[in-house]
Structure 1
Amino acid sequence: MATESAPTEAVVAPSITSEETAARAVQKRFEGLMTVRAKAIKGKGAWYWAHLEPILVQSNDTGLPKAVKLRCSLCDAVFSASNPSRTASEHLKRGTCPNFSMPPSTSSGSSPPRPISSIPPPPPLLNPCTSSSSGRKRSSPVSSHLALIESHSVYIPPPAIGAPPVLQPMPTHSQPIVLSGGREDLGALAMLEDSVKKLKSPKTSPGPVLSKHQVESALSFLCDWFYESCGVVSISSVDHPKFRDFLRQVGLPPISRDLLAGPQLEARYRNAQADADARIREALFFQLSIAGWREGGIVCVSVNLPNGTSVFQRAVPVVTRAPSDYAEEVFLDSISLAAGSTTGGINRCAGIVSDRFKSKALRNLENHNPWMVNLTCQIQALHNLLKDFTIDLPLFQSVASNCVKLASFLNTNSPVRSVFHRYQLNEMGYSGLLRASPVTDSWQLVFPMLEDILTSARPIQMTLLDESYKPVSTNDPVAGGLAEMVKDMQFWTNLEAVHALVKLVQDMAREMETNRPLVGECLPLWENLRSKVKEWSSRYNLEEGPARKLLDRRFKKSYHPAWSASYILDPLYLEKDASGKYLPPYKYLTPDQEKDVDRLITRMVSREEAHIALMELMKWRAEGLNPLYAQAVQVRQTDPLTGKLQVANPQSRRLVWETCLSELRSVGKVAVRLIFLHATSCGFRCNSSMARWLAARGPGSDRAHKLVFVAAHSKLERRDFSNDEERDGELFAIGDDDDVLQDSPFGDRPSA
C-alpha cells in the first residue's frame, strides 16, 4: 500500500512549500491536543487538562500557524506543548502557578486532583414520608445548590431493615439549612456553576486568522470611516468594550483613540492637504464658495474648480452677524491662500459665491477687482422669498393666524384635547400636540404648524363635530368660531394653497442644493419659478398679483449681470433659427439685461480690449456656433439615479470656447470664466459636534481643524453634499408624506 501511494505523493509534493507542510503539521498537533483535552474534561483523561489549554501561534509574515503552545487558564502563562504531563507537574504540582491550590492528597502523591464535576454529591437527607415495601427509605430530590453546601446540616444514617422510620432530633446548637452568606451567596453560587460549565465544555475556537496585509487594510478603512463620519461617530467609541469585542471577533487588534487623533490623523491631514493644494495649483482659475454667514458659528470655505470639482480649504469660527469688514478680511485671506505663489496670483480668482446678502464686502471686492464676479447664493434667495411670503402675502398671514388659534385651542383645552388625541390614535396611529407658532417672519416656524394641521385635518374635523364639543362651543365663543371655521371649505382650500406655495419653493431650493446649478442657469430657474407660481394661482383660483409682485421684487434683489452674460455665452442655451444656425437666446432678455451683458464683458477685459470684445460679441450674436458642435454640447442622457435628463458632457460648454471659438479671443476669456461659476454656496457643512469643537478655542483646536479638513476633503471628493444628521432625522420621522397626502402633493381636500 505504501509503494502504491509513493508516486502520488511525489507528484503533489513540489506544489506545496515547506512552510505550508510545517503549518499543516502544527495544525494537526493542535487538533490532537484539543481532542485529548475535550475527553479529559469529560472525566476520561488526565486531570491537568482542566487547567491547560492548547493555543495556535501564527507567523506575522505569512499568517500561517508556526507553533502550538499550552496556556494556563489560571494565570495565563504560556509553555511548550511538547510534554503536557511534565508541564503540569512543574507548573501546577510544584506550586509555580500562583492561582492553583492543590488538595493534601495530591501533595502526598496518593491521587491527582479531580475536576469539580467528578466529585460525588454528599449523602442525601432522609425523607420520612416516603418508603418502599422492603422498608428502605428513598430520598427526595434535593436542589443541586444545597447539595454543594452541607457544612451546617447533619447526616442521619439509615435505620435497620424492617425498623420503623425514626427521625433523629437535630442538635440544639445546629442551624437550619441556609446559604452561609444569605442572599449575597446566590451571586457567588451562580459564578461557581458558571465555572463548572466552563470546565465541562471546551472553549470556543479562536476567531478568523487574517494576514498582516489584511489587518492593515482593514484598520486603514476603519480609520477613514471614523474621519469621514466626523462628529456623527465619536472617536472615543473605540474604547467601548463592545466595539473591542467586535474587533477581537473579526480578528483585528484594538485601536486606541490616541492613535486615531494623533499619528493617523496627522498622516491623513498631510495627504489631504497636499492633494487639495495640487488641484488648486493646477487650475487656471477658481471660484471661492463660502457658506455659514447666515447662521453664524462656523463659516466653511471651499474652492470650486473649472473641471466641476470642489476642494475644501478651511473652517472659520465667527460670531453671529459678523461685520462686513471682517467678512471682507476672510474673503481676502481665503483668496490669498488659494492663489498662493503661483503664476497669476489673485487674478486666478474668478469670483466668490456666498450665502450672505446685502454684503458690502462682495461689492467692494468686485469694484477693486473688475475681473471678479461675486454672487449671492440662490438657495438663500429662495429662503428669503419664503420670508417675503410670510410677512407680506395677505393669504399667508390670514391662514397662519387662523391656524395659530386652532392649534392653541386644541392644545390647551383639556377635554377637547383628550377627544382630539383619541381621534388621532384611531386615524393616524399616534397622538400628540400640534406645533403652534406665532405669526413671525420665520417661515421655518410657521410651516411645521401648517403641516401639522393639514396632516391632522380629519381628526380635527371629527373632534369639532363630536357630541362632547357642542357644550364647549355653546359656552365659549372662541370654540364656536373655530367650529364654523373648520366646517368652512374655504379655510382648508386656503391652508392647502399656502402649504403648496411653501412646498413649491422648498422643493426648488432642495433641488438646487442637490444639482448645484451654474450661473447660466439662474435666469431659466427664476422663469421656471414664475410659471409654477402662475399654475399655483390658477389651481387654487387665487389672484396671482400679490405673489408675483413679491417674486419679482426678490428677483431684482438677487439679480446679477453675470446671470445674463453667462446665459448668452453658454453654448447649452443656443437656439436653432430658421436658417439652421445656433444663436444665443437674446430674445429672452430684457433691454436692460442686454446692456448688462455688454457692460459686464467690457468690465472683465482690459480697456484696450473693450472695443474688440464688443465686436466679437456682435459676431457671436450673428453667427453663433457651428451646428454640429452646438448639438454635441447639448446632448442629454438619462441619469440612472434620478431618471432625469442631464447634460452628457458638462465640461464641453467651456471647452468649446477654448477650441472651436478660439478666434473670439477676448470674449472667450470672459466666457470660460463665467460658464463654470456656481450659483450656490452649498458644499460641506459642519454638524453640531464639529461646530462645538471648532468654537472651543484651546490647545486642541488645531487637532479639531485637521479632523474637519480630512472629513470635508473626503466628502467633497465623493461629491457627497448631504448631511448625516438631517438624514438620520428623516429616517426616524414619523410616517411618510404618502400616508396622508395620496393623490397630489397636498392630499385630498378635507370634507366638511
Structure 2
Amino acid sequence: MAAATDTTTQTVAAGMELAGDASASPDEAAAKAVTKRYDGLVMVRTKAIKGKGAWYWAHLEPILVNNTDTGLPKAVKLRCNLCDAIFSASNPSRTASEHLKRGTCPNFSNLSKPVSSPSPISTSLPNSAPPPPSHHNPRKRSSSSAAASGSAPASSYSVPPQGVLDPTRFCGGELTYAVPGVLTQQPHLMLSGGKDDLGALAMLEDSVKKLKSPKTSPGPTLGKTQVDCALDFLADWVYESCGSVSFSSLEHPKFRAFLNQVGLPAVSGREFTGSRLDAKFEEAKAESEARIRDAMFFQIASDGWKIKNAGGLGEDNLVNLTVNLPNGTSLYRRAVFVGGAVPSKYAEEVLWETITSICGNAVQQCVGIVADRFKVKALRNLESQNHWMVNLCCQFQGFTSLIKDFSRELRLFKAVTENCYKLASFVNNKSQVRSSFQKYQSQKYGYTGLLRVPSMQDYEMLNFGPVYVMVEDILSSRPALELVVLDESYTLVSMEDPMAREVAEMIGHERFWNELRAVHSLVKLIKDMAQEIEKERPLVGKCLPLWDGLRAEVKIWCSSNHIDEGPVEKVIEKRFKKNYHPAWAAAFILDPVYLIRDNSGKYLPPFNLLTPEQEKDVDKLITRLVSREEAHIALMELMKWRTEGLDPVYARAVQMKERDPVSGKMRIANPQSSRLVWETYLTEFKSLGKVAVRLIFLHATSCGFKSSGSLMRWVSPRVNMDKAQKLIFIAAHSKLERRDFSCDEDKDAELLALENGFD
C-alpha cells in the first residue's frame, strides 16, 4: 500500500514541479498544497502499518479527489477499508473514534485493542481504473499525461487499490501484480496463474476479512414463528406446482443463497418428502372428507381412461377421480396409474371401489358418474345395477371425437388430407424445391423450416390431430408456395418429375385452397367449442343446447362454403346418439334456468324444444330415479310443473345474469339458484323435487384436475407410490380449491406465445 500511495504522491508532485513555476495558477498552487497534505498522511499511514503509529490507520486510507475539469487534485479524503465510507481528512483521530470505536462502521468488531495487522488484500479487476504508479516504479508519468490517458480519479475506485495490476510489467504473456502486506515484502509479485489468479486472490482477501472482522453485516433476522410460516408457504408452493418444481432444486446453490439472503435456513428435498409431506396430505384429506360428509350426495368424475399412447409415460397413464358436490365444489379423490388398453370390467371395479371408499354401504349418496369415453359398457352396467345413478359420457370428449368422425366419413376431409400429404412430402423431400421454399420463407416470414407432416401411421389411421397441424402449415405458407412454383428452378424440376407438375397444378388451383380453408375452419370451430366446454365445465342441462348450437354453426359453415349439409349432419347425429343420455332432456326440463316465458307471463319448461322420443325419455328417467311407490306421484308432479312452471319473480331471479369481468360474457349470476329454488321454494313437488336437486347439479364433463407431463415424473418404479399419491392429491386439491382447471405447461406456452407477439 505504501508503494502504491507513495507513487501517487510522487507522480502528482513531479507533475506539479514540471508544470509549475513562480507564475503558477491558483488552482495549481492549491493542488500542490493538497498533494503535500496527501503525502504527509500516506507517510503517517505507512509507518503505522509497520507498527510505528496509531492503530486506526490499518482501516483508514488517504485518497486524492481530482477536479473533473482540470484533473488536478482538489481535496484529500479518508476511506474506511471495512465499509468503503468516505470522510474528511482534517482530523483522522476523531474520525477513527466516531466511526470505528463508537460502532458506526458495521464491519468493525475489534473495539478493545489496536490492530497492527495489515488491511485486507484487494484485487484490482482488469476493467477497473489503475491507481497512480508507485514512487519506486521507474516509469513515472506526469499528472498531465495521466489525465490525457483517461486515468480515473482516486475517488472513483469501488475497491481499495491495495492489490495493484501493473500493466507496464506485462511481458512474455505474464502479468505482474503488486500485493503489499504480510504476504510479501517485495514491491511486485508474479502470479503464476495469470489473470485467472485474480479470482483466487479475491478469495484470499475474503478469508482475511472474515478472520479480521468475523461479525459481518447481519442479514434479516426472523423469529421461529416467521421461519416456520415461510417454510410452510414454500412447501405449499412446491407441492402445489404439480411437479414443475423438483425437490432436488431446493438444494441448488443459488436457491440456498436466496434463502440465506431473506433470513431462512437451508432446506433439503428429503425434508419435503418426509413428515412435512405426510402432514400436508393429512390436512388436505381431512378437509376433503369433511366437505364430502357435509353434502347429501355427490357425483364421481373420472378422467384419463382414454389412452392415446398405450404404455407411454404421458398424462394418459394417470386416471384422475374427482368428487363433484351439489354446491359446485370439486374435490380430488385419488389417482389410478394405468398403461395400455384398460378392460371395461377393470374400469367398472375401480369406479365402484372409489364409491364405496367414500360412503361405505350408503352407496345411494353417489347419484352418478361422468367419465371420458373409454367403454360405455362399464357406465351402463353400473347404472343398470343401481337405479338411482345417472352415468354420463364426457361432452368435451364427444365434441373432440367429432373431428375424427369427419376425417373418416367425409370425402372432403379425405381429399384434403391426401392432397396436403402429397404437397408437404414433396416439398420437404425434394432438395431443389425445399431450398427454394426456404428461400421464400425467409423473405416472407423471416424464418425457415419444413412443413410438418404426420407419420405414416397417423396418416393411414386418419388421425386428424397431426393432419390439422399440416393443414395449418400449408395455409400459412401459401404465399411462399406460390412463389416456389413460379421459380425457374421449379420449372426445371417439373420437366422431369410428374409429381412436381401435379403439385404445381394443385397450388395454382383456387379450389384446393378453398377446400383447405373449409376443412380448417370446421375443425377450428369444433376445437373452439370443445375448449369452451373444457373451460366452462357445463352442467348436464346444458347438453342439448350445446349440440343445438353446434348444429346451427355447422349449418352456417355449409352455406358459406357451398357444401352439402346432408353428409355433415349425418355425422353429427351419429355422434350425438352415441353420447346422448335421457338425463340431458330431463335436466333441461327441470332446470329453471331454461324456463321460457309464454304469452300469459308464465315461465314454463321448454317441452316444445324436445323431440317426442326425448319427452318419453324424461318420463322414463324420472320414474327410474324414484321408488316404485313414488313413480306415479312424480309423473303427476311433472304434469303440474309442465302447466304451471315457476313463479315469474323466482324464475327471473334464477335466470339473472351478470358480465364476467375476465371474459366479458354474460353469465348466470348464481348457478346454485337452480337447485336451491327446488329445495326451498318448490316444496310442493316432493317426489319430483328429489329428482331435480339430484339431477340438475350433475356435471356434463369429466374435466377437472389437469395433470402435467412434469407430474408424471413421480410415477415410475423408482418412486414410492404412496408418496406419489400424496403429492398428486395435495397438488390436485389445491388447484381444485382455486378452481384452476388449466395446466401450467399450457399457461407457459400461452405466455411465451404472447411474448413473441402471437395471438
The residue aligned with 1:142 is 169
Residue among 206, 221, 230 paired with 1:218: 230
The separation in 1 between residues aligned to 2:167 and 2:698, in whole angstroms, is 91
Please say if 1:306 is aligned against 2:294. no
Higher mean displacement: 349-358 or 199-208: 199-208
Q: Deviation at 1:532?
A: 0.3
| Secondary structure, counterpart of 2:710 in structure 1 | helix
Q: Deviation at 1:193?
A: 5.5
Q: 1:194 to 1:621 in 2, by over 3 A?
A: same
Q: Deviation at 1:335?
A: 0.4
Q: Deviation at 1:266?
A: 1.4
The residue aligned with 2:341 is 321
Please say if 1:269 is aligned against 2:287. no
Q: Deviation at 1:357?
A: 4.1
Q: Deviation at 1:732?
A: 3.6
The separation in 2 between residues aligned to 1:588 and 1:663, in whole angstroms, is 26
The residue aligned with 2:220 is 208
Q: 1:113 to 1:275 in 2, by over 3 A?
A: closer
Asked whether the equivalents of residues 386 and 502 of structure 1 are also in contact (C-alpha less than 8 Å), the reply is yes
The residue aligned with 1:676 is 697
The separation in 2 between residues aligned to 1:117 and 1:569, in whole angstroms, is 83
The residue aligned with 1:168 is none
Please say if 1:395 is aligned against 2:412. yes
**TM-score, with structure 1 as normaliser:** 0.76
Asked whether the equivalents of residues 581 and 627 of structure 1 are also in contact (C-alpha less than 8 Å), the reply is yes
Amino acid of the structure 1 residue aligned with 2:270:
D
RMSD: 3.5
Please say if 1:367 is aligned against 2:397. no
Amino acid of the structure 2 residue aligned with 1:727:
K
Please say if 1:409 is aligned against 2:421. no
CA deviations on 1:49-81 (whole Å, 9 max, x unpaired) are 98999xxxxxxxxxxxxxx999999xxxxxx95
Asked whether the equivalents of residues 596 and 604 of structure 2 are also in contact (C-alpha less than 8 Å), the reply is yes
Q: Deviation at 1:113?
A: 5.2
Q: Deviation at 1:686?
A: 2.2
CA deviations on 1:194-239 (whole Å, 9 max, x unpaired) are 6459979999844334444443332222211111102111121110
The separation in 1 between residues aligned to 2:121 and 2:369, in whole angstroms, is 79
Residue among 462, 469, 484 paired with 2:490: 469
The residue aligned with 2:673 is 652
The separation in 1 between residues aligned to 2:754 and 2:469, in whole angstroms, is 14
CA deviations on 1:279-310 (whole Å, 9 max, x unpaired) are 00110000000000002411100000000010
The residue aligned with 2:359 is 339
The residue aligned with 1:481 is 502
Q: 1:716 to 1:120 in 2, by over 3 A?
A: closer
Asked whether the equivalents of residues 300 and 316 of structure 1 are also in contact (C-alpha less than 8 Å), the reply is yes
The residue aligned with 2:591 is 570
Residue among 732, 747, 756 paired with 1:727: 747
Residue among 196, 205, 213 paired with 1:187: 196
Asked whether the equivalents of residues 50 and 199 of structure 1 are also in contact (C-alpha less than 8 Å), the reply is no
Q: 1:142 to 1:693 in 2, by over 3 A?
A: closer
Asked whether the equivalents of residues 299 and 318 of structure 1 are also in contact (C-alpha less than 8 Å), the reply is yes
Q: Deviation at 1:414?
A: 1.0
Asked whether the equivalents of residues 52 and 70 of structure 1 are also in contact (C-alpha less than 8 Å), the reply is no
The separation in 2 between residues aligned to 1:547 and 1:328, in whole angstroms, is 34
Asked whether the equivalents of residues 117 and 200 of structure 1 are also in contact (C-alpha less than 8 Å), the reply is no
Please say if 1:229 is aligned against 2:241. yes
The equivalences for 1:274-289 within 5 A come to: 274-289=286-301
The residue aligned with 1:330 is 350
The residue aligned with 1:254 is 266
Asked whether the equivalents of residues 293 and 320 of structure 1 are also in contact (C-alpha less than 8 Å), the reply is no
The residue aligned with 2:536 is 515
Q: Deviation at 1:382?
A: 1.0
CA deviations on 1:411-443 (whole Å, 9 max, x unpaired) are 111111111112112212211111112433311
Amino acid of the structure 1 residue aligned with 2:408:
I
The separation in 2 between residues aligned to 1:193 and 1:254, in whole angstroms, is 26
Higher mean displacement: 549-558 or 140-149: 140-149
CA deviations on 1:88-145 (whole Å, 9 max, x unpaired) are 7xxxxxxxxxxxxxxxxxxxxxx855665799999968789xxxxxxxxxx9943594
CA deviations on 1:489-517 (whole Å, 9 max, x unpaired) are 11111100000010011001100010000
The separation in 1 between residues aligned to 2:399 and 2:653, in whole angstroms, is 33
The residue aligned with 2:576 is 555
Q: 1:642 to 1:662 in 2, by over 3 A?
A: same
Q: Deviation at 1:180?
A: 7.6
| Secondary structure, counterpart of 2:302 in structure 1 | strand
Q: 1:127 to 1:599 in 2, by over 3 A?
A: closer
Please say if 1:291 is aligned against 2:303. yes
Please say if 1:633 is aligned against 2:654. yes
Q: 1:312 to 1:40 in 2, by over 3 A?
A: same
The separation in 2 between residues aligned to 1:536 and 1:398, in whole angstroms, is 18
**TM-score, with structure 2 as normaliser:** 0.75
The equivalences for 1:165-176 within 5 A come to: none
The separation in 2 between residues aligned to 1:359 and 1:543, in whole angstroms, is 32
| Secondary structure, counterpart of 1:517 in structure 2 | coil
Q: 1:116 to 1:639 in 2, by over 3 A?
A: closer
CA deviations on 1:516-574 (whole Å, 9 max, x unpaired) are 00000000000000000000011111111111110011001110000000101111111
Asked whether the equivalents of residues 327 and 361 of structure 1 are also in contact (C-alpha less than 8 Å), the reply is yes
Please say if 1:423 is aligned against 2:440. yes
The residue aligned with 2:450 is 433
Asked whether the equivalents of residues 440 and 484 of structure 2 are also in contact (C-alpha less than 8 Å), the reply is yes
The residue aligned with 1:524 is 545
Q: 1:239 to 1:288 in 2, by over 3 A?
A: same
Q: Deviation at 1:658?
A: 1.1
Q: 1:247 to 1:190 in 2, by over 3 A?
A: closer
Q: Deviation at 1:688?
A: 2.2
Asked whether the equivalents of residues 317 and 695 of structure 1 are also in contact (C-alpha less than 8 Å), the reply is no
- Quick one: percent identity of the two aligned structures? 52
The residue aligned with 1:643 is 664
Amino acid of the structure 1 residue aligned with 2:555:
K
| Secondary structure, counterpart of 1:314 in structure 2 | strand
Q: Deviation at 1:263?
A: 2.1
| Secondary structure, counterpart of 2:333 in structure 1 | strand
Residue among 718, 723, 728 paired with 1:708: 728
The separation in 1 between residues aligned to 2:178 and 2:703, in whole angstroms, is 72
Amino acid of the structure 1 residue aligned with 2:724:
A
Q: Deviation at 1:694?
A: 2.9
Residue among 493, 515, 530 paired with 2:514: 493
| Secondary structure, counterpart of 1:730 in structure 2 | helix
Q: Deviation at 1:384?
A: 1.2
Unaligned runs of 5+ in 2: 1-53, 63-79, 85-101, 124-130, 141-165, 181-187, 308-315
Please say if 1:534 is aligned against 2:564. no
The separation in 2 between residues aligned to 1:357 and 1:380, in whole angstroms, is 10
The separation in 1 between residues aligned to 2:385 and 2:499, in whole angstroms, is 61
Q: Deviation at 1:487?
A: 0.9
The residue aligned with 1:14 is none
CA deviations on 1:665-716 (whole Å, 9 max, x unpaired) are 11110111110000000011222233342343x6621111111110000000
The residue aligned with 2:394 is 377
Q: 1:248 to 1:192 in 2, by over 3 A?
A: same
